[in-house]
């Protein structure tokens, strides 16, 4: 079997010996393998394979159910509103203030044949109103079940 002598620059490995070179003896099969592994098409195909792998993983992940929690810990509103005062027969501007917080838990599953998704949601909201009418109000939706789909659009899951 024929031997091929390849000289490799070690500048990257030994920065203090920038001009140093090292010779290494390779057989023909090993030289072909090293050349094939470090060629531009090999590099390109390795990255295409990796990109395709992650694209497939994303595709599979979209078909799994997803659980999400959305929380608004605090929102404060302060605004003026126009009200009609019938005793004075004029419009009166009143200041209103409100403090709200809410949370919702949702379970979603994509449905490929129709292109939409089924969902189950539970939510709770608290509203504290300040001003002339001072009160606290709670609102909850224990369970909401539904299906959502765009009427006009492309089914990307098909």
Q: Containing domain of residue 109, as a range? A: 62-148
My answer on whether 94 and 138 are in the same domain is yes
My answer on whether 74 and 109 are in the same domain is yes
Q: What is the pLDDT of residue 7?
A: 44
Inform me whether the pLDDT recorded for 156 exceeds 80: no
My answer on whether 130 and 92 are in the same domain is yes
Looking at 60, 82, 107, the residue that finishes a domain is 60
Inform me whether the pLDDT recorded for 19 exceeds 60: no
My answer on whether 44 and 11 are in the same domain is yes
My answer on whether 121 and 92 are in the same domain is yes
My answer on whether 76 and 45 are in the same domain is no
**Mean pLDDT to the nearest integer, 105-126:** 92
| pTM exceeding 0.85 | no
**Are the C-beta atoms of 48 and 56 separated by less than 8 Å?**
no
pLDDT in tens, 1-17: 455 454 444 334 445 55
pLDDT in tens, 29-84: 888 888 888 888 888 888 999 999 999 999 899 889 999 999 999 999 888 888 88
Q: What is the pLDDT of residue 64?
A: 92
- Helix ranges (H only) for the chain are 28-37, 40-62
Tell me if 27 is assigned to some domain. yes
Cα(46)–Cα(43) distance, rounded to whole angstroms? 5
Mean model confidence pLDDT for the chain: 83
Taken in order 16, 21, 24, 30, the sign of the CA dihedral is: positive
My answer on whether 66 and 56 are in the same domain is no
**Are the C-beta atoms of 136 and 112 separated by less than 8 Å?**
no
At 108, is the pLDDT very low, low, confident or very high (cuts 50, 70, 90)? very high
pLDDT above 70 covers a percentage of the chain that reads: 86
Q: How many structural domains are present in the chain?
A: 2
Q: What is the pLDDT of residue 65?
A: 94
Tell me if 13 is assigned to some domain. yes
My answer on whether 48 and 111 are in the same domain is no
Inform me whether the pLDDT recorded for 20 exceeds 70: no
My answer on whether 66 and 138 are in the same domain is yes
Q: What is the pLDDT of residue 17?
A: 53
My answer on whether 56 and 67 are in the same domain is no
**Mean pLDDT to the nearest integer, 112-118:** 86
Cα(60)–Cα(156) distance, rounded to whole angstroms? 14
């Amino acid at each position: 079997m024929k031997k091929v002598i390849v000289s490799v620059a070690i500048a990257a490995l030994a920065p203090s010996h920038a001009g140093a070179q090292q010779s290494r003896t390779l057989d023909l099969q090993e030289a072909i393998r090293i050349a094939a592994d470090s060629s531009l098409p090999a590099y390109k195909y390795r990255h295409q394979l990796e990109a395709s792998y992650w694209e497939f993983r994303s595709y599979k992940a979209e078909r799994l159910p997803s659980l999400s929690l959305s929380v608004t810990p605090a929102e404060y509103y302060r605004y003026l509103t126009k009200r009609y005062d019938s005793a004075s027969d004029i419009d009166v501007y009143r200041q209103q203030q409100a403090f709200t917080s809410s949370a919702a838990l949702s379970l979603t599953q994509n449905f490929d044949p129709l292109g939409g998704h089924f969902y189950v949601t539970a939510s709770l909201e608290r509203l504290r109103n300040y001003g002339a009418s001072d009160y606290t109000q709670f609102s909850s939706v224990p369970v909401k079940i539904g299906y959502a789909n765009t009427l006009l659009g492309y089914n990307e899951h098909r």
